[in-house]
Amino acid sequence: MLRTFALPVLVLWAFAPVTALAEPRLVMVEQPGCVYCERWDEEIAEAYPKTREGQHAPLLRADLRDGPPEGITYDRKVNFTPTFILVEDGTEQARIEGYPGADFFWGLLSMMLAEHAGFEPDVSAATPVTDSEG
């Protein structure tokens, strides 16, 4: 009986990492003492998993000195922290180098996800265009 149960569990466990990397992920490459990483943590980190962007591309943190997480390949070396790397199927699709502040981060992230990961931004949340000549 134990063998009958254990084999399917082991098979599922063996393929779990591959399945987890198939969805888009946002890798945040950081390092200790990074002021802009700390600023991102203060301004964005708590809200990120609750947003449409965070649900579309869950965050995975990586230390600059450790290299890419297992099963992930970067297109080129990471030189700045934070660097936000969009990964799908373990391969880098795009990146944002540095943290430009909350106002710009969300727009850049939405554009990157839309262009490279099939994300559909919420256009109803966009700033309305007004007629300035009126």
* Distance, CA of 20 to CA of 36 (rounded, Å): 28
In the block, tokens 């795009």 appear at: 94
Q: What is the fold, at CATH topology level, of the domain defined by 40-119?
A: Glutaredoxin (3.40.30)
Q: Where are the beta strands (DSSP E) in 1-133?
A: 25-30, 59-63, 83-88, 91-97
Res 125: pLDDT = 61
State what percent of residues in the chain have pLDDT above 90: 73
Which comes out higher in pLDDT, residue 32 or 123?
32
Q: Peptide bond preceding 100: is omega within 30 degrees of 0, i.e. cis?
A: no
**Tokens in use for 132?**
């300035």
Residues 20-42 have a mean pLDDT of 92
Compute the Cα dihedral for 75, 77, 79, 81 and give only its sign.
positive
Res 58: pLDDT = 98
State what percent of residues in the chain have pLDDT above 70: 76
pTM here is: 0.77
Residues 94-105 have a mean pLDDT of 97
